[in-house]
Structure 1
Amino acid sequence: MAERNKRQRQAGDSPLEIMRIDRTTLTQDELAMRCGIPRATYQRWISGKTEARLSISQLKRLCEELKIERVDELPDNFAPIAPSE
């Protein structure tokens, strides 16, 4: 099995991407697939192009994959964090 390159967090990453990188070894595609979210939708969320609207089952699976025990651990917005000037 090929070794995965785990990308380092970067300034401007979305809070969802930061959690994915810090808490899993999953790629964006793998996380989206496991949560029943189309890859393009996931990418629009983390780029800030659209606001996340998850079904209850998607929310439960996302929390499970990210090892979130309480829904208030999820960020309010998945869009990238604007760099402070």
Structure 2
Amino acid sequence: MSRIEAAVKVYAALLRQESVRKDVMKKMMSMLLHPYPKIRSTTAECLFMETKDNLLRKGDWLLPPKQLKDTVDSLRRHCDLS
């Protein structure tokens, strides 16, 4: 799991590069539905730190992925990624 967490942090840093930002956002949005709660919460935290989007703070990332699907879909629409 530590490798995945490290990858999330690398993706978060890549969000600063405009040329890959949209692709990285799509990847990170998909990681908000990862099977492991720790990965979901780390991803949400990293996304929030880079985007300051308060919608990320409203989600309970410890819930099962099926219950988070609507939240993630809303985030995708909000970020024009749908």
TM-score > 0.5 by shorter chain: no
Structure with the higher fraction of residues in helix conformation: 2
- Larger relative contact order (Cα-Cα within 8 Å, sequence gap ≥ 6): 1
Larger gyration radius, structure 1 or structure 2: 1
Give the alignment's TM-score, normalised by structure 2.
0.29
Give the alignment's TM-score, normalised by structure 1.
0.28
